[in-house]
Each structure stands twice: as C-alpha cells, then as structure tokens.
Chains A and B, each alone.
Chain A
Amino acid sequence: MAEKKWNVTFLVNRQKGDGPGRLEPFRLEVNPDEYVLDAVERIWAFHDRTLCFRHACHHSVCGACGMRVNGVEKLTCITHIKDVTKDGGTVKVEPLRHFPVESDLVIDMTPFYSRLEAVHFPQVVPLNEAPDPDSDSIARDRNAPSDLARLVDCIECAMCISACPVPLTNPDYQGPAILAAIQHQGIAKNPDLLPFADNKNGAWRCHSAYECSEVCPSNVDPGWRIMDLRKQVVTTRIKNLFGSK
C-alpha cells in the first residue's frame, strides 16, 4: 500500500534576536502520521540550514521541542501533522511566548531555569512525598518506603508559561511551573519558599485561566497545584497569625 502523502505549507518563524519576526513558508510533501518536529528537521536539512530550533529525545521526556503550533503550545515530537492540518493546509510554527527569542524557534530559557533554581526544584523525590493531582490526599502512597524514588513529572518545557495570559503584561510573574515546583515541595516542609509563593507576582497573580494545565504534556497539572499552593499559603499564614509553627 502506497504511503499517504500530503502537501502542507509550514509557516515557520524566522527571527534573529530582538529583530522583528516573519513567517517564512516552506512547502513540504509529508506523511500525515509524521510529527511536526520531523517536518521542521526536514526543513532544516533540505531547505534552510540556518533555521534554529531545539530538539533532543524525540519522545516527550526532555521538553526541548516545545513550540507553538497554530498558536497552541505543543511538544512537536509527539504532535502528528494530521492533528494540526489537512492535505493542502498550513501549519504555523512559532517559538514559545514570553521568553526572549534567540533565533527563529529557539528561546532564551535562562529566566525560567534561574527561577527554578531559586526555588531549589528537585528532579527526584521519595515516593511518599510526591503529591499527585490524581490522588485524593496530597501525598501519594503514604505506605511506600521513603527511599523509593519517583521522578518528578515536570519536564521543564516552559509551555505552561507560554500559554499563561499573565506574562503577556507581567514578565515578573513566576509562572505555573515555578509555582507548581513550590507546591510540589510544600510550604510546610520548606518555609523558605513562602515568600516566593506569597507574593504579588506569585500565587496571587494567577487568574485561573488553566491554560497551563491545558498545554502541560506531562502529569503536572499546574493549575491544580497553584490552587493547592494558595491553600498551603493561607493555612500557613493563619497558623502563623495564631502563633503555631
């Protein structure tokens, strides 16, 4: 059986540093079951070697290939072309929002990583200390031995920050990933994180748009975590008010 072929036009952002961006069209013949990242790589390989983009694992665990596809944040390594366009259609590929663009589809992730570092976000936690949105209680599996490790769900793709409407006008907002990182560790066990969360640019800047949870490719559910963080902060403040530590 002949492989299905679609003719698709990819409108790819071309931009150098602070300069204005423009969408450059690339017409490709693609297999619709391929991924958007495959098309971007083919554009680089056969059409324009100056195109800059990030990619690494190709199976949604590294977070490197996060981009905006038709205006929505997606991991391009797991986004099928057939899910975002049709034969003869177009696909718009742009860098994530709210970060400085270094080149084309590559953004400067420094502010994001430095904030994660500031809240000492761990990559691995003991199993019984890993709060999971799918569990009824904040700590999952309390009976599990504490030395069993669980990889933290966040792959640091920063798509949640791109999708959030708040950084449109306020880049000082810490963003869903950082607030989720604080929630994950817990204010009770990490009181040094309280000022980071209880902050006009922290948990109180969120306006419950839940775009972060919508675009998160992993099991983080940042929207839920921010709401839980608010509960943690209010509980801590009330306890502090009445003198109990």
Chain B
Amino acid sequence: MDRAISQPKPGETTWLWLLKLVTGVLVVLILGTHLIVQHLVSPEGLLTFEQVVEWVSNPWVALMEGTFLVLAVCHALMGVRSVLLDLRPSQGAIRIIDITFLIVGVVAIGYGFWLLRAIQAHGVG
C-alpha cells in the first residue's frame, strides 16, 4: 500500500507559503505605482529613454523598483514551484527545482539591481 502521508522538514512549508502570500500582497500594492508611473504617465505608454533615466535616478524610485523586483521574482518563482509541486515530482526532482529556482532568483535579482545601476549611470554627467 502506498505511504499515505509524506513527511517534509517540520515547518518548512508553512514559512514558504506565508512568504508567497506576503510577497503577493506587497506586489499588488507596489504594482499599482509601477504601472501608473512607468506605463500610464507617458502619452505613448512607454517612457522615453531620457525619462526612464531621470525616473530611475531618483533614489526612492530605485528603491521602490528594486523592492518590486525582489517581491515579484520571489512570488513568481514560488508560484511556479507550487504549480510544479501539483505535478507530484519525486523528491529528487523537487531538490533540482528548488536549487534551480534559487539560482534563477538570485541571478534575476542580481541582474535587476545591476540594471538599475546601469540605467542610473547613463544619467551621470
């Protein structure tokens, strides 16, 4: 007979689920600001290069966009992980998924922060 109940590390899933929930709620809150400024302020829907540089050069804006990046990437990766867990992967596959998503998340966030700095650099001078 199949083992009816699986046994992960204690509490592991509670915190991941809470993190997914909290990042989701915060994303909703910050998303409104991001959408309005980045895509609705400009008459054409997308800011010109100069406008983007000026906007991102504001440290508060950079902080907001950086926070939004971290929250969105975390929430997206945890959400996709949740969908993959629904497909009942093996323990080995779950390990691969977790490690891959961790790497993807770190790279995406690192790249995002680098991008913010690179855009700001265009405004210097």
Interface residues, chain A, with chain B CB atoms under 8 Å away = 110-111, 114-115, 118, 166, 169-172, 174, 194-196, 198-202, 204-205, 207, 230, 233-234, 237, 240
Contact = CB atoms under 8 A, between A and B. Distances in A.
Contacts, number: 60
A233 B14 contact: yes
B26 interface: no
Nearest to B17: A204
A233 B12 CA distance: 12
Contact of A195 (B10, B17, B85, B87): B10
25 contacts: A110-B1, A111-B2, A114-B1, A114-B4, A115-B4, A169-B88, A170-B85, A170-B87, A170-B88, A171-B88, A172-B88, A174-B5, A194-B10, A195-B10, A199-B5, A199-B8, A201-B5, A202-B5, A204-B13, A204-B17, A205-B86, A207-B86, A230-B17, A234-B14, A237-B14
Nearest to B3: A172
Interface of B: 1-2, 4-8, 10-11, 13-18, 85-88
B6 A201 contact: yes
A111 B3 CA distance: 9
Nearest to B85: A200
Query: In this complex, which of B4, B11, B87 has the most chain A Cβ atoms within 10 angstroms of its Cβ?
Result: B4
B14 A204 contact: yes
Contacts of A240: 11
Given A198-B11, A199-B13, A200-B13, A170 B86 contact: yes
Given A204-B17, A233-B14, 14 more contacts: A114-B4, A115-B5, A170-B86, A170-B87, A195-B10, A199-B5, A201-B6, A202-B5, A202-B13, A205-B85, A230-B17, A234-B14, A237-B11, A237-B15
A198 B5 contact: no
A154 to B, nearest CB: 17
A191 to B, nearest CB: 11
B85 to A, nearest CB: 6
